Structure 1
């Protein structure tokens, strides 16, 4: 019960972190905890947790222990009057995009006294010479930062948006870029323009014409120009580099250049090619031609360098990777991919490249509106009686561990938590969505109930936001943005029926099914799948006589028996009868639904083990003491969960972790989740595995199911 109260507190705080290592920091004059937290990319709460006395204030010269997940520090800047994101990018020699990546909140504008991260504090390696080590190469790469070119603004024009106008069309009309408009209308970084909106259009001092321009380059000067037709695989950076000029100089030569850079477009370039590509390569680096179907994360895996390093060497990669493109990589880093190791399961942790901050929303029925957290006894009683609340808290606790684990891999997450309160709460959920911004949310996990899930999927379909169902086994036939993470009962049944069918030619199939309408469907399905099977007669009250069992068992063939029931009395009657004949008649037991009745104390696991019970499952069993490489994620999760809550994780906590961690890993290996679920192969974490497929009508479903069996030693194993 203490665990659930703790999760309630975490729910209210909506933030959690478990430090992987610590760094000492000496407080400088004028520093506060918030600024120190920004410097080390952590939170004030995490610092207070390790240094509780800091809540009363900190003093110059005081030493603080700082929880960090990597060894990186960041420069900070306190926003002053007149500061803009653009001016700060110029001041610190970084791009506007970098500021937004380091400070996601800045897309909504910056305010005086706000603290921003404005670049990494670089660590120099005195032993690195001419790129002979990785750190040496990184120091070379860090010098390749883009420096924004400042243009003088004469005045601003107010433009009233007309029907069907787009930012691109407006920018083209005023002969400026979309970024120019967004810089002076910051809300447009997160909002779409609407009819009758009034936006500020900057008017820049006139740029000298090409004829009057003399462009300095690192090698020579521009004297004459010619026309060039954009070819397939061309990029702005590639063309600029081949002609010995910068992208800024290319844009000045072509002020009306289409930002989409279409094939066949005619542009102005210098007549001479001043710098051949090979001559532009720095010592310690080499050229590599991109192969067909090759991806960025594939190159990162083969070269074993960071995505930051790859983008610094090849800024044009942000426009997309194309076959035949020539890129720069460090020398002697390319390794040949061993295709023999590629199997059914894929490890997304080795394919990460998209490290932009992710935004997740969790929508679960916490029912906080009905609780008085000051009344501890009342809260504990409510927790004991409310199953949906316990499931929600377990899911949420697992999600928090997943976010922290992803952060250790370089994936940072902004988490927003919403209380859906109860089942069929359409009005409340619509209000939550209307009152909050979901446009840039990468994924929503929840709600718990199918009716609420359908409402969320319907409301967020306009943004194409993926909605993940954590618990419901029902699919959606209406919404393309609906992701069913839990296989349906039909999938579970089909999995074990297919397994038995493959090896049933010399087996005696026996069907024992509980009476009643609820079990008529599975009985008919079993008979249709195995028309030669023998059906045992069940007496009134769901009782099987031994004489009835003897009539359907075969003395010559192995007997494969399906037992379908949720009646403890019936199962406790049938299992001992089968167990008594397990050796003489070679009995193996199967069920399409191992429900709670099989776990009753009246059912002996020794019998199930002797009968080698086979059943389909959403979960797999794991051994958290196993040192096997495959179990490292399992052990790490269990260790973190025990440390955080002082109890072992439930299946729902594990499920919350697995779903959230899979979502974050997929977002880190693709541009969005729709791209990520197209990967061939299955992902597997602690107890769950995922392999999504698209329904012809409706959303996505997880088609992966485990087939579990009892071994002789009472242990459970996964049947391949």
Structure 2
């Protein structure tokens, strides 16, 4: 009875959708739907659509109805340990080029468990129809297809291949298709033609046509706009995928429109495409939808999970996705579905409440511990070395914070395989390359470090092939070379832009004053301030970076607030200018700003009482102060408690930074498919003292542009104001 129902369902399907072809397939041991889809050049979703019960799993001997785009089947192979494209070409008596054509993704390498097409299955003619046998069932089901009428071959021509000739050119010469030639020369399915080859050319009783009719185009198109065709000339850098995407069809559909298309896709070749040529993606977006650019390593599963839509809906909106998802693709999705998945705590993202990726995380730490220079047998010598070696102290502090981050993430269900490497010193390229060569970094989710920029660039360059994210924990220098470079510390320019933007928002009716140290180094910030505030007054600075009181008096006014930018790293200049401003604050409303609160501001000759009275505002990439509760008591974070319990002292800024960077990485990896997916979330994360908002740069990788604005308040208190 069940067999009869299957036959009846397929018969109904065959009669109601004459444009679609179907085959039956008997499941064999070890097969899954994905592998079957590979064999018949279709998709798992298409199989599930007409075999809904297959979603619950398939069993050996089960019969499935398979929709086929063309009447072709492929041999498949599950990649095993030791397999290479070359070894598979030998095993299946084909060529590496043929495997690459059938599996374009294999050009980037093959992976264990990957399913590859390794050649076409030649059709066998049915000689008998036995409804009681499996072959009989297949024959009945195959009979539901619409079989095109075969053209009659009246004779053959022998063609001797000349230098630089292609199958496409030969087919065009004889007004037939490439497939017509391959059918009569079976070896060409797996081999390339060579000079002096002799191939059989069929001569048909009547001329073949290669251009699809408008109705055929409608049947393969994703929407009703594709009703006619036009010709398109292939240009430099054009690809089959690019042209298909821009016309809203799949590569398979493009090939159906162009059966004689040269597989080499040469520049200047003419092909048939739908008339919706070069339609602007933005112009074609319907209300309620938006464009989304696919990030590196992003998966269809991840997009479906985040958007909450079905795979059928995603493929209907983006038919070219059936050819595979690639970084840089621009796809259509329902509006506001990608950014709305992560809840916020106040202004910040709460990644901890949206964890779903609990696969163990593989994280490497690369820092200059310089263990080869330490003499652990002499304690006093080791302590002296630690005091003198600043990079070693920073490395140890960062590492101590990272260890607590790993332990804290574990309480959230995120386990971490932490691998630690000693980079020893700066400009240590040879040693670092040896580390990367001697250890397996493929599959590493993130690398924290190295500390120095040169070493960072080396690691980023070497691990770019794996798209491994490299996090710079300390350097402010940008990298414009590597897309896998993540700068965790905002640049000086970002800090400048932050404070300038803050002042600009409220600069109406303010007397802006610019006091900038002399010298080439400070000329850039001076010109930037003058450009942003053209009405600003510039105080005259004397030789030796000295400001006379009379010159300060000329730029101050009494009838409106005076907002003063002070840019200097000269202790002598600060100890001259700040007291003058403090004295003038008795008769004038003065607020002090700087884009760079450097160590000169912390010198003993610069009094904090003056900075407090002038309400100094400055940008910072970390909070720089301890928060207090409503009763004025110091707020102790769980991290600080844990750190003190383990190490016996309060954490310094580097230890806090190590914790914040590592914990943010682990939370992002736990709430996304990978780091590139995680940094696509809109919004900022914040932890103990640092916050993170990674943005993709035009050239290079990602930069954290999240900063604070801090103000010296009354009674020497620091207040976070923005």
- What TM-score do you get using the length of structure 2 for normalisation? 0.55
User: Cα deviation per residue 1:339-364 (whole Å; 9 max; x = unaligned)?
Assistant: 99786421100110101100000111
SS of the residue corresponding to residue 505 of structure 1 reads coil
2:610 corresponds to 1:611:
no
In structure 2, distance between residues paired with 1:356 and 1:577? 60
Aligned counterpart, 1:536:
539
What is the CA-CA distance between 1:381 and the residue it aligns to?
0.7
Corresponding position of 1:642 = 644
- Aligned ranges for residues 613-632 of structure 1 at < 5 Å? 613-623=616-626, 626=629
Query: What's the counterpart of residue 353 of structure 2?
Result: 350
* Kept after mapping to 1: 8 A contact 2:342/2:351: no
Match for residue 597 of structure 1 among 600, 612, 616: 600
Are 2:343 and 2:349, in contact at CA under 8 Å, matched by a contact in 1? no
Q: In structure 1, the residue corresponding to 2:418 is in which secondary structure?
A: strand
2 CA distance for matches of 1:397 and 1:645?
9
Q: Does 1:490 align with 2:493?
A: yes
Matches of 1:714 and 1:169, distance apart in 2: 78
Residue in 1 that maps onto 2:66: none
The aligned runs of 1:489-528 (5 Å cut-off) are: 489-528=492-531
Displacement after TM superposition at 1:389 (Å)? 1.0
Match of 2:372 among 369, 373, 396: 369
Verify the 8 A CA contact 1:394 1:652 in the aligned structure 2: yes
Aligned counterparts, 1:227-266, within 5 A: none
Q: Secondary structure at the match of 2:619?
A: strand
Superposed CA RMSD in Å reads 4.5
* Residue of 394, 398, 416 corresponding to 1:395: 398
1:211–1:528 CA distance, 2 compared to 1 (3 A): farther
- Structure 1 distance, partners of 2:429, 2:378, is 30
Paired position in structure 1 for 2:658: 656
State the Cα distance separating 1:534 from its structure 2 match.
1.6
Paired positions, count = 451
Q: Is the 8 A contact 2:304 2:310 kept in 1?
A: no
Q: Distance in 1 between matches of 2:593 and 2:302?
A: 53
Distance 1:527 1:624, change over 3 A: closer
What SS does the aligned partner of 1:540 have? coil
Unaligned runs of 5+ in 2: 1-55, 61-79, 97-109, 117-129, 135-139, 146-219, 221-250, 254-287, 291-299, 313-339
TM-score, normalised via structure 1 length: 0.56
Equivalent residue, structure 2, for 1:413: 416
User: Residue 666 of structure 1 corresponds to which residue in structure 2?
Assistant: 668
Distance 1:323 1:491, change over 3 A: same
Alignment of 1:146-157 (within 5 A): none
Q: Output one character per residue of 1:300-344: Cα deviation in whole Å (capped at 9) or x when no partner.
A: xxxxxxxxxxxxxxxx98996461479xxxxxxxxxx99997864
Partner of 2:349, secondary structure, is: coil
- Distance change in 2, residues 1:502/1:163 (3 Å): same
CA distance in 1, matches of 2:520, 2:541: 14
Inter-CA distance 415–604: structure 2 relative to 1 (3 Å threshold): same
Which residue matches 2:717? 715
Match of 1:360 in 2: 363
Alignment of 1:285-364 (within 5 A): 321=305, 323-324=309-310, 344-364=347-367
Name the counterpart of 2:441.
438
Q: 1:162 to 1:520 in 2, by over 3 A?
A: closer
Alignment partners' CA distance in 2, 1:558 and 1:376: 58
Whether the 8 Å contact between 1:561 and 1:589 is mirrored in structure 2 is: yes
Cα shift readout 1:120-139 (whole Å, capped 9, x = no counterpart): xxxxxxxxxxxxxxxxxxxx
Following superposition of structure 1 onto structure 2, how do residues 667-686 of structure 1 map, counting pairs within 5 Å? 667-686=669-688
Task: Tell me if 1:163 matches 2:165.
Answer: no
Deviations 1:574-610 (A, max 9, x none): 1111111224210000011000111112222121111
Flag structure 1 segments of 5+ consecutive residues without an equivalent: 1-144, 150-156, 174-186, 194-208, 214-223, 232-261, 265-290, 294-315, 327-336
Change in 2 beyond 3 A, CA 1:212/1:592: same
Matching of residue 553 in structure 1 with residue 539 in structure 2: no
